[in-house]
Amino acid sequence: MSHAQQHAMPLLRYDNLSISFGSGRREKFALKDFSLEIGVGERVALVGESGSGKTLSALAPLRLQPEGAKVTGQLIWTPVSAKQTQVSPQSVDLLTLSDQAIRDIRGRDIAMIFQEPMTALNPLFTIGNQIVEAVLVHEPLTSKAECMEKAVALLRKTGIPEPERRFYSYPHQLSGGQRQRAMIAMALACKPRLLIADEPTTALDVSLRMQILDLLKELQEEAKADQGMSILLITHDLNLVRHFAQRVAVLNQGKLMESGSTHQVFDHPENSYTAALVHSEPVRAILPVMPLAPVLLSADTLSVSYPGSKTGSPLQVLSFFKKAPRNTVLKKVHFTLKQGQTIGVIGESGSGKTTLGMAILGLLGDSSAEVSGSVNVLGQEWARLDSAARRQMRSSLQVIFQDPFGSLSPRMTVMDIVAEGLDVHCPNLSSSERESRVLDMLKEVGLDRSALSRYPHEFSGGQRQRIAIARALVLRPQILVLDEPTSALDVSIQKQVLALLTQLQQKYNLAYLMISHDLAVIRAMSHDILVLKGGKVIEFGETEALIAQPKQAYTQQLFTAAELT
């Protein structure tokens, strides 16, 4: 079937969809008169800034919009197959279906990959059991053994190493990227007609991003012989959109700015907003590190291991008394970070990047992790500091976590979240001084006074990350550990935040340890790059020199996937 025929037979049609909150003069539209068609077998991308309405438009077909949302317009679902040549008369408006009818569609006909896997996955169940549950809900006659085999096969297909062992892992035992891949496996379990992917590759390194998108294309090809599968992709990564989507729609403040073929929108944008979005690449504007700059942070033969877990097929039962070997995730890492320097840490998901950051911060001591080697902060070894001295030192060593929703207390206002560090480390500030410092920092990350009394759930993912950045920077630390600081931000806001981080570094001589899957961000921000693979440092060097001439084939593959070479 031709692309034109597919487009003539929309599987899902947004018809003047509007979503608003409040009433009367206080009514605010998050989405306004939005119209879009997704054809059978099509790959459509929805792009735009944080808060533009992308995620709300993705949640609407599954009727998962937040409580209190007022929804008008239509969402026409037409269960046509790839073999049909005309629109089926079985079209329904998803907004008018009963709760039971929409539950039958969720997961079976329309599946979704959520943006934040840690909050979407149940922490009390293993990854394997959650995939099995997704199958049994819609295929109750399938045996549990068949479901378990299917779950392991899906984990293997989505690139999770040792899928038989990971079947028994809980979400907190996986890296961010592995959790995202587990969610993708769960979404694909029932072979949906429409897959809505809300930032499906945010937590993945660049090579795995391409692998996941290639996997989705492959599954789409397999589905052609049956009923076909369409994909609605929501992402901040415009490079992925270029390689994956057939059509692109651009949202801004809830309104559709432009839509068309990927080639047309990227190469010949008609709207000024679209043009600005397309050309929002990170800019490298860092200053060289001073020759005699003091070392602020160092790690020497730093290693981290965890207790082993079950291995083998999920259908096999291991001896209760058999002790599994420890899983070493970081192996004798060594580096030094100077004042005013940024070291970028890259590597595939599960390579130990986040574990390195947590070990540097001294946040593994109360867990089951076994840590060896040493970490020195401002000339003092973490392991030898008592709790009071370590607490005092934390004003100089701050962190921005990968998951902005999980790291912000849902019961605290933005004012209290950002000011929490000031309350601990600067208790003598008056209430007016406290508010002034919080306001100044919020303005620097692109938020205004109206954010002070609001709660995290009232903000988009990108806005929550900006709140997390403000909280970390309000104490003006000497060292900042950045764990995917811009992964939840759209490209235009990402560019602003990176410029802010660069300005703050130059003004206060800050040292950054930046962990990121986005190699364009690493290139723009880092003086040196540290490459991790399997917990080992396989390469370290000056950023531009390493990109120009990587010594390891693995490093070359990462840069090629990110189109840096």
How high is the pLDDT of residue 318? 46
What the chain holds in terms of domains, given with CATH numbers, is 41-67+99-278 (3.40.50.300), 296-306+326-353+404-561 (3.40.50.300)
Angle 457-458-464 from CA coordinates, rounded to 5°: 70
Give, for all 565 residues of the chain, the pLDDT tens digit: 444 444 457 899 999 999 999 888 888 899 999 999 999 889 999 998 877 888 899 999 999 988 889 999 999 998 765 455 444 457 899 999 999 999 889 888 999 988 777 778 899 999 999 999 888 887 777 788 888 998 999 899 888 889 999 999 999 888 777 888 888 888 888 889 999 998 887 666 677 777 778 878 887 888 777 677 899 999 877 888 988 999 999 999 899 999 999 999 999 999 999 998 888 888 899 999 998 999 999 999 999 998 876 544 444 444 555 566 778 889 999 999 999 999 999 988 778 898 999 999 988 865 678 899 999 999 999 888 888 888 888 889 999 887 777 789 999 999 999 999 999 998 999 999 999 999 999 988 888 999 999 999 888 777 888 899 899 989 889 999 998 887 767 677 788 788 888 988 998 899 999 998 888 899 999 999 999 999 999 999 999 999 999 999 999 988 887 776 5
- Asked if 397 and 434 count as a contact pair (C-beta separation under 8 A), the reply is no
Locate all alpha helices (DSSP H) within 348-412, ordered by sequence.
353-361, 387-393
Among residues 329, 323, 330, which one has the least CA distance to residue 308? 323
The number of beta carbons lying within 10 Å of the beta carbon of residue 556 is 15
- Collapse the DSSP code of 120 into the 3-class scheme (helix H, G, I; strand E, B; otherwise coil) and give the result: helix
Q: Angle, to 10 degrees, between the axis of helix 206-224 and the axis of helix 553-561?
A: 60
* CA dihedral angle for residue 257, residue 261, residue 267, residue 272, rounded to 10 degrees: -10
Region of residue 91 (phi > 0: left; psi between -120 and 50: alpha; otherwise: beta): beta
Q: What residue type is assigned to position 450 of the chain?
A: S
The number of beta carbons lying within 10 Å of the beta carbon of residue 171 is 21
Q: Which run of H or E residues covers position 259? A: strand 255-261
Rounded distance, CA 490 to CA 496, Å?
Answer: 10
How high is the pLDDT of residue 417? 96
Rounded distance, CA 517 to CA 522, Å?
Answer: 8
How high is the pLDDT of residue 418? 95
How high is the pLDDT of residue 485? 82
